[in-house]
């Protein structure tokens, strides 16, 4: 049978491993080692340091049983300092000091420091992962101690485990920081876009107003050539205002400020109306645009204006990237038991497979060559709206042959019944 001491040590090991398993940040790892490590090793104190600046210093993360004066004095330790913690880090090897006598022999200048503590023996080992130094673990004992092979193995094994947990926690913390930074950057970007859009709309409305006044002769007679120039000004103003409204809408979807009013929508009527709205653009480009039908009575459970907006955007994109003489069609069908898919199929330029994901990112043009006008926000907004209604948008495409955009939405209750 195991002795009470062995059972106690086993229980302490379980507590230490449990604390390390739940530690999610480097500081929590350090606290777990300092608070749960001493009974495992039979030590009176534990110190955990990490490598910083970059690789020039050790910084104490957490420490137990160290006088306040030394704690402050050794808050950071140069890697080339003649002390055990730095030696273990620099040489990548453990340092075992069995007594104060050995301290005096190897580190005579530190004799006053050791005598100011109740420590007699120390075990100091680097924390390594894949030949990378993360920090150093130090153990202090209040009695002289000849470290036998079993004790050294225990120290090195637990130091290795601590290093792995520390590395995992460091990566997790870095990921959180990166994610938070990205969210802050996105929020700042959205706020800027919203503010900019609001500010730009005011002078644009003024431009439109003055152009209208001049065009109708309110400020004096105008010639036929001047009327044509004013029409071009008004056309450019409407185009720019449309782009700004798109940016403003994107900032709202990015900020999660879009509200959805979900109702039952008959698809036949919806898609016929969307094709009619996109028809002038198709005629101008000599593109054959048509609705090829859907299952009679097919309905979706979605927000009507936002569904119409997504379909019109998909149709407009398809027409824009289809050359003269090409075709664009839209249809709808059940997609399993719970969804409906609206497909927009074109015979346009197609999309490279490696761009299937990026075209749904903000400010990315479908073909990326800068030939076509637009903000590159249409697909990003459309996918956000689709997902906000419980659906999605995906793409299949063959370069040079065309693309198919599939817009899925939850099926309407009336269709299911």
Q: Are residues 381 and 404 in the same domain?
A: yes
Same-domain status, 191 and 130: no
One domain for residues 292 and 342: yes
Q: How far is CA 214 from the centre of its chain?
A: 51
Mean pLDDT by 10-residue block, N- to C-terminus, for the chain (417 residues)?
71 83 85 90 91 87 77 83 93 94 92 85 93 92 91 89 86 72 66 66 73 76 83 76 67 70 91 89 92 88 90 91 94 91 94 87 59 66 90 93 94 70
| Statement to judge: residues 164 and 44 lie in one domain | yes
Of 236, 254, 272, the one marking the end of a domain is 254
CATH of the domain at 62: 3.30.450.40
CATH code at position 246: 1.10.287
- Give the chain's end-to-end CA distance (angstroms, integer): 70
Pick the closest to residue 293 from 327, 343, 339 (CA basis).
343
State residue 1's pLDDT score.
Answer: 55
Which pTM value belongs to this model?
0.49
Are 250 and 317 part of one and the same domain?
Answer: no
Together in a domain, 280 and 222: no
Separation CA 32–CA 372 (nearest Å): 58
Residue 181: count of CB within 10 angstroms of its CB: 10
For the chain, what is the radius of gyration of the CA atoms? 35
405: domain CATH number? 3.30.565.10
Total tally of structural domains belonging to the chain = 3
What range does the domain containing 212 cover?
Answer: 178-254
Together in a domain, 23 and 154 = yes
What is residue 250's predicted lDDT score, i.e. its pLDDT? 67
Same domain, 31 and 50: yes
Question: Same domain, yes or no, for 301 and 321?
Answer: yes
Q: How high is the pLDDT of residue 99?
A: 93
The pLDDT, as a whole number, for residue 370 is 40
Which of 172, 189, 217 terminates a domain? The answer is: 172
Q: Say yes or no: 97 and 168 in one domain.
A: yes
Whether residues 272 and 394 share a domain: the answer is yes
Domain boundary among 231, 254, 277: 254
Task: Kindly state whether residues 160 and 83 are assigned to the same domain.
Answer: yes
């Amino acid at each position: 049978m195991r002795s009470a001491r062995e059972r106690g040590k086993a229980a302490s090991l379980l507590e230490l491993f449990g604390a390390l398993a739940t530690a999610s940040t480097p500081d929590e790892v350090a606290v777990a080692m300092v608070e749960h490590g001493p009974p495992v090793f039979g030590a009176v104190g534990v110190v955990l340091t990490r490598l910083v600046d970059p690789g020039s210093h050790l910084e104490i993360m957490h420490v137990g049983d160290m006088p306040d004066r030394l704690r402050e004095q050794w808050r950071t330790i140069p890697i080339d300092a003649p002390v055990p913690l730095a030696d273990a880090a620099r040489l990548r090897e453990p340092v075992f000091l069995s007594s104060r006598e050995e301290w005096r022999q190897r580190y005579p200048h530190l004799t006053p420091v050791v005598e100011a503590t109740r420590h007699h023996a120390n075990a100091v080992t680097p924390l390594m992962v894949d030949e990378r130094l993360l920090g150093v673990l130090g153990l202090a004992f209040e009695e002289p101690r000849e470290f036998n092979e079993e004790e050294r193995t225990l120290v090195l094994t637990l130091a290795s485990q601590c290093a792995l947990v520390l590395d995992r926690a460091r990566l997790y913390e870095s990921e959180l920081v990166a994610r938070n930074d990205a969210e802050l950057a996105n929020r700042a970007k959205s706020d800027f876009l919203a503010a900019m859009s609001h500010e730009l709309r005011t002078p644009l409305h003024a431009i439109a107003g003055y152009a209208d006044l001049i065009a109708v002769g309110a400020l004096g007679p105008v010639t036929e050539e001047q009327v044509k120039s004013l029409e071009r000004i008004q056309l450019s103003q409407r185009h720019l205002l449309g782009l700004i409204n798109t940016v403003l809408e994107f900032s709202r979807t990015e900020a999660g400020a879009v509200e959805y009013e979900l109702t039952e929508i008959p698809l036949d009527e919806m898609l016929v109306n969307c094709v009619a709205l996109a028809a002038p653009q198709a005629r101008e480009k000599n593109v054959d645009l048509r609705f090829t039908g859907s299952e009679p009575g097919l309905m979706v459970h979605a927000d009507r204006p936002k569904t119409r907006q997504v379909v019109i955007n998909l149709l407009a994109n398809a027409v824009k990237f289809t050359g003269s003489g090409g075709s664009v069609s839209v249809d709808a069908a059940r997609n399993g038991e719970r969804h409906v898919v609206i497909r927009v199929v074109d015979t346009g330029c197609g999309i490279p497979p490696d761009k299937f994901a990026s075209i749904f990112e903000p400010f990315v043009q479908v073909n990326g060559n800068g030939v076509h006008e637009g903000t590159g926000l249409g697909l990003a907004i459309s996918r956000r709206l689709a997902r906000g209604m419980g659906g999605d948008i995906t793409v299949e495409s063959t370069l040079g042959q065309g693309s198919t955009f599939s817009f899925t939405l939850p099926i309407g209750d009336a269709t299911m019944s």
